[in-house]
Structure 1
């Protein structure tokens, strides 16, 4: 038996308000995500627009707050004007980002109408690669203006009388990346000035909206955080968020590195917050710009050979290569290959949950979080069926219980060290010492007198006796306790059995003198709810 672990929560340890958008998702037409999962006119459940109603209904039941769309790398060469009006008149175009033909059958209106059917808020990404300021102005006018102008009346003509009232607009995607069409990787000042003028212009069209400027696409970027600082410095007064992305990678079999990846997210967030506040001080501004972490994920990747002399942070050369054998792909929505994350549901659920807890611990400044793969996590799919993966249950418990304010959750437990490693030249991780085996965050819904403590045990082998000290929450008692655990890490939920990996009620606990005690299983997800 491992040594005792202890978590202390107290109402005085407030971090910040938890935004309703913190646990959201991201959608981009990669592979069959749009043409197949979202849109398939031949599917038995297809509605009059060709959308799969089984997927819509499954997502609608989750109460998913928001989805960032329509990209991603895709959007940096997408001309939205090609995607409106009668489908028979729309252009089929090349999508250089993903080397695919894009039919525009799912166009600007369809994305927003799909979001309405799901009951989720669209967070819209604007083409700032090949797109112009005028394109962005026309887009917001078409989307949000009530009528009486060319673009708003064109929306009415095409069948949508009322404005869509999209409130959140991302001004570009990963504009520091050399892989991006119209990249600003070598000119953050120019990008910042373009954002300044674009954000100003579209806010003059609709002064209720919010905008985000792109920050770094990863903490490994050659210009991080100077690129972010230079871009934000030019447009601080007219934007509301800095948009950042990161995908954590761990070597095969290294579960400690996979689940410890949350620490690199926290380093990234802390650096970005410091940069933002430095720029605010330069501008003598009382305004607080926050963070939108609108693409994130964790994955297992094999170690690649390193190239001597390549340069640790130099990503550019990797993206200026051209393969004469490469061909464009035409995706058939009705020929949808099965796609699954490698490995079982449990590790995938834990790896994503560890990142979500990191975002929750920074709820004072991270106000939007969009999980890449979040739609599939909530409603897994193949050509014929929809089901609940293990990640579904974790995501749903965060949506249900992570309300109110985030609390600084003090953890005392056994620790481990993560040696540094390099997946390849551009994904090199410094080591971490003193990583907690017990990962935790908590949320206090003061209005409804409910406290929730979320716990992950990162240890592959050891069960921990755990004490949660609630003495500061006088009158609170256990209301529910859940544990998700399996001894077989290769198990996956399926349409036939979607509860193979799912939370079960935990009954073996004690509560006395403000201390909640129980044991947490190895590699488990745990949720403890207390109410007054």
Structure 2
């Protein structure tokens, strides 16, 4: 399979917001309890946080984490999670039919986030609560002192404010499964008032309004239009959510869903532009793709269990075992985010630990990287700077969800400060090796400095506590820069990180 491509220094998409590589943690299953937090574990620190999990999180260099939900937030009272732990109430969580001990709340999560080197993105309950929730929560978290809520925080041992910059205005408010579901116009008005309250505390704070729960909702994309018409001037982002699967075991159709995601982003970008023009607004609204991941291996079984179980505490839930095929898919999806980084400024893998997550941790046992950890890590570490367009000429295929899908998927970033170009290359062909010839226009003297590859595994191969590195990157070979072009061979079903010194 012959592939010709052109990377041009001046064909810029735009600057990549580092928050494109963010994550999500919800009080759901074992994401918090026995995920990041497990007092009594051999790896627990003085606050009860697992050091082994923290190490894996730090290695991802995640810029921000969305917390505490998710569906959980729509019936959550953040005040249950502050003050003395022995006085905190145990509540029933309607979203996941389980008990919430409230042993981890905003102050504990802030300690963990600081240890992990991560900024907090906090979600406000607009399901069962509302405007007052927004005022009080922001004041407790961000105000220096001298008021009832800020002084309450200080009485809890937190003298300095957290200065959280990102505030989510509810979660999936279009969904019939959501506690406090609302029609678009009603939600849009509430979100507008909550956004004004948040920005009334500090006009530089960023607000994120709920878009559709996914692009298959019957109200999509009319929901986005109605919501934005209510609140456009007071919000900075609109959220997108989408989960993916391959229940039919049709690998090429699975990969084609990445093209479907591109259409989703493009459509909502068009809605944003329409509302901005209609309102004669001056501000820009960007996309926050704050829930995305593969979720299908045990989804139906576990969702059926949720409906049956009797309010357990921190039950095992949605602990997907990700395989090599999923890693290739995640690599391609992140490539699409890079290519759409003029629109998508924040994206959050959902979730971070145990629950549909790149990191798994056994209760009382080890923690390990899942297969999808690695493409996420490569992009977070090296997909910084400016996104560049890559023109690719090669074979394509048609599938159920998209036509004319390229077998060769390439995203590129240029970090001018570091003097590097990073290429994220995915050969999606099932059987054919690709002979690639990529012209590097404007990058005279480019030199290969790093090449790592994931290839040669059975598509169903997974990592686990006994084989934590079964599917992991290896040093690559067979690629080089020759006559101003990157040339070489790429095995079928392979993912490559290629870094060039262009200083």
For Structure 1 versus Structure 2, the TM-score category normalised by the shorter chain is: over 0.9
Matched-pair contact (CA < 8 Å) for 1:256–1:458: yes
Residues 485-505 of structure 1, C-alpha deviation per residue, up to 9 Å, x if partnerless?
Answer: 123233333445443322222
Partner in structure 2 of residue 311 of structure 1:
none
Partner in structure 2 of residue 483 of structure 1:
453
Residues 489-524 of structure 1, C-alpha deviation per residue, up to 9 Å, x if partnerless?
Answer: 333334454433222222323432212111111111
Counterpart Cα distance in 2 of 1:134 and 1:475? 59
Residues 253-310 of structure 1, C-alpha deviation per residue, up to 9 Å, x if partnerless?
Answer: 2111222211111011000000001111111122111000000112446999xxxxxx
Deviation at 1:8, TM superposition (A): 1.2
Match of 2:320, SS state, is coil
Partner in structure 1 of residue 294 of structure 2:
298
Partner in structure 2 of residue 16 of structure 1:
14
Matched-pair contact (CA < 8 Å) for 1:129–1:182: yes
Tell me whether 1:409 sits opposite 2:390 in the alignment: yes
Partner in structure 2 of residue 61 of structure 1:
59
Given candidates 303, 314, 320, the residue that maps to 1:341 is: 320
Counterpart Cα distance in 1 of 2:478 and 2:399? 32
Coordinate RMSD, CA, aligned: 2.3
Deviation at 1:105, TM superposition (A): 0.9
Deviation at 1:324, TM superposition (A): 12
TM-score, normalising length from structure 2?
Answer: 0.94
Partner in structure 2 of residue 432 of structure 1:
402
Map 1:413-424 to 2 at 5 A.
413-419=394-400
Partner in structure 2 of residue 466 of structure 1:
436
Matched-pair contact (CA < 8 Å) for 2:322–2:370: no
Given candidates 246, 261, 278, the residue that maps to 1:265 is: 261
Matched-pair contact (CA < 8 Å) for 1:476–1:531: yes
Deviation at 1:57, TM superposition (A): 2.8
Counterpart Cα distance in 2 of 1:300 and 1:87? 36
* CA distance 1:492–1:363, shift in 2 (3 Å): same
Tell me whether 1:331 sits opposite 2:338 in the alignment: no
Between 1:295-304 and 1:279-288, the stretch displaced more is: 295-304
Tell me whether 1:450 sits opposite 2:420 in the alignment: yes
Counterpart Cα distance in 1 of 2:116 and 2:306? 41
Match of 2:178, SS state, is coil
Residues 150-190 of structure 1, C-alpha deviation per residue, up to 9 Å, x if partnerless?
Answer: 00000000111110111100001011111111011xx2111
* CA distance 1:324–1:291, shift in 2 (3 Å): closer
Counterpart Cα distance in 2 of 1:263 and 1:29? 31
Match of 1:12, SS state, is strand
Between 1:23-32 and 1:154-163, the stretch displaced more is: 23-32
Counterpart Cα distance in 1 of 2:74 and 2:424? 38
Counterpart Cα distance in 2 of 1:510 and 1:8? 15
Partner in structure 1 of residue 199 of structure 2:
203
Deviation at 1:331, TM superposition (A): 2.2
Given candidates 362, 370, 375, the residue that maps to 2:340 is: 362
Matched-pair contact (CA < 8 Å) for 1:252–1:302: no
* CA distance 1:166–1:485, shift in 2 (3 Å): same
Matched-pair contact (CA < 8 Å) for 2:75–2:125: yes
* CA distance 1:393–1:342, shift in 2 (3 Å): closer
Given candidates 181, 184, 187, the residue that maps to 1:183 is: 181
Q: How many residues align?
A: 497
- Stretches of structure 2 that go unaligned for 5 or more consecutive residues are none
Match of 1:467, SS state, is strand
* CA distance 1:343–1:51, shift in 2 (3 Å): closer
Given candidates 482, 491, 495, the residue that maps to 1:521 is: 491
Matched-pair contact (CA < 8 Å) for 1:258–1:299: no
Tell me whether 1:223 sits opposite 2:247 in the alignment: no
Match of 1:406, SS state, is strand
- Stretches of structure 1 that go unaligned for 5 or more consecutive residues are 305-318, 420-430
Given candidates 84, 87, 95, the residue that maps to 1:86 is: 84
Partner in structure 2 of residue 241 of structure 1:
237
Matched-pair contact (CA < 8 Å) for 1:69–1:123: yes
Residues 391-437 of structure 1, C-alpha deviation per residue, up to 9 Å, x if partnerless?
Answer: 22222211121111111111111111112xxxxxxxxxxx3211111
Matched-pair contact (CA < 8 Å) for 1:486–1:501: no
Partner in structure 2 of residue 381 of structure 1:
361
Matched-pair contact (CA < 8 Å) for 1:73–1:180: yes
Given candidates 125, 142, 156, the residue that maps to 1:127 is: 125
Deviation at 1:232, TM superposition (A): 0.8
Deviation at 1:462, TM superposition (A): 1.5
Matched-pair contact (CA < 8 Å) for 1:252–1:300: no
Given candidates 234, 247, 250, the residue that maps to 2:246 is: 250
Partner in structure 1 of residue 377 of structure 2:
396
TM-score, normalising length from structure 1?
Answer: 0.89
